[in-house]
Amino acid sequence: MSFLYLIFRLFARFISWLPFWMLALFSGFMSFLLCHVIKYRKKVIVSNLQNSFPDKHAGEIKKLTNDFYSNLADLVFEIMKLESIHKKELLRRVTIEGQDVLDRLIVNKQGVVVVMSHSGNWEWISQRVCFSGVGFDNVGVVAMEMSNPYFERYFTQIRLRLQKGIAEIIPFTQTAKHLASIRHKASMIIAIADQSPHKDQIKYRTTFLNQNTPVFLGPERIARSLNYAVVFCHVQHTMYGYYKAVFELITDAPKDMPAYFITEKHVKMLENDIITEPAPWLWSHRRWKY
């Protein structure tokens, strides 16, 4: 095991046991460092914001940039908190609206694809969504594999700590194999769909935040192949350390929808959420590199 990774794990474990009011202090300091000292991906962040909001003046872009760094710092420490947070605390800090949308699908024995994004604390929210899906035959979260094997192990461990017997991690490269195994089940599949496809994987483009944008077709293809409903998960950052996830049904008859309807719908839903509350989205991601 890498010595630096061991140091990180010890630090992360220590951080995870601190109370939230203390984490807020650490977060404020880290936000200052990221924004004004390290200037982490600042050119990418500012460029993304300027291109997405061409009508905003320089002062507004600066404020959004500062707000993003604040959210990013919160996210770092909140993820570390997953090492020790209790299920009851997680359920209290991430509330759900629209549970009846999932409950109807459970009663009808129809599987569902829950489309998420890199908004707010997606690590907390995806785990909270897993608990909302306990009535399905099984629950799986599609996750991109990390290039660093140590951090791949770390994230797998914290993602599964509260999910034993409830949910499983589906490596992105094994999605097809997993889909074949659940073909005759009413399952929940959670997919974060706002990443940028690799250049040779681009099959569809749309307009998103005023820019020509390649998008993954995964949620739509899964829904059509398994006849699963599609539900979008809106995310609201209500206050420090608290979030609300809101389920909205896109369709429960995916095969009846026109081609790309599902994709366009969840992209537009995310766009509207970002316009309403820009700062919690992952602006440091090189979303428009292709």
**Residue 288 domain flag:** no
Distance of CA 30 to the CA centre of its chain: 22
pLDDT of residue 108: 98
Residues 144 and 110 in one domain: yes
What is the number of domains present in the chain? 2
Which residue range(s) make up the domain with 53?
Answer: 3-81
Return the percentage of the chain with pLDDT > 90, whole number.
93
pLDDT digits (tens, 9 = 90+) for 176-227: 999 999 999 999 999 999 999 989 999 999 999 999 999 999 999 999 999 9
Residues 158 and 245 in one domain: yes
Residues 100 and 74 in one domain: no
Is the full-model pTM beyond 0.85?
Answer: yes
Which one of 63, 81, 99 terminates a domain? 81
Q: With b meaning 16 or more CB within 10 Å and e meaning fewer, what string describes 160-175?
A: eebbeeebeebeeeeb
Which one of 47, 63, 81 terminates a domain? 81
Residues 152 and 134 in one domain: yes
**Kind of pairing between the strands at 139-143 and 211-214:** unpaired
**Residue 251 domain flag:** yes
pLDDT of residue 3: 83
Residues 171 and 55 in one domain: no
pLDDT digits (tens, 9 = 90+) for 24-81: 999 999 999 999 999 999 999 999 999 999 999 999 999 999 999 999 999 999 999 9
Residues 118 and 244 in one domain: yes
φ and ψ of 170, to 5 deg = -105, 105
pLDDT of residue 276: 97
Task: Check pLDDT > 70 for residue 1.
Answer: no
Residues 50 and 102 in one domain: no
Which one of 81, 113, 139 terminates a domain? 81
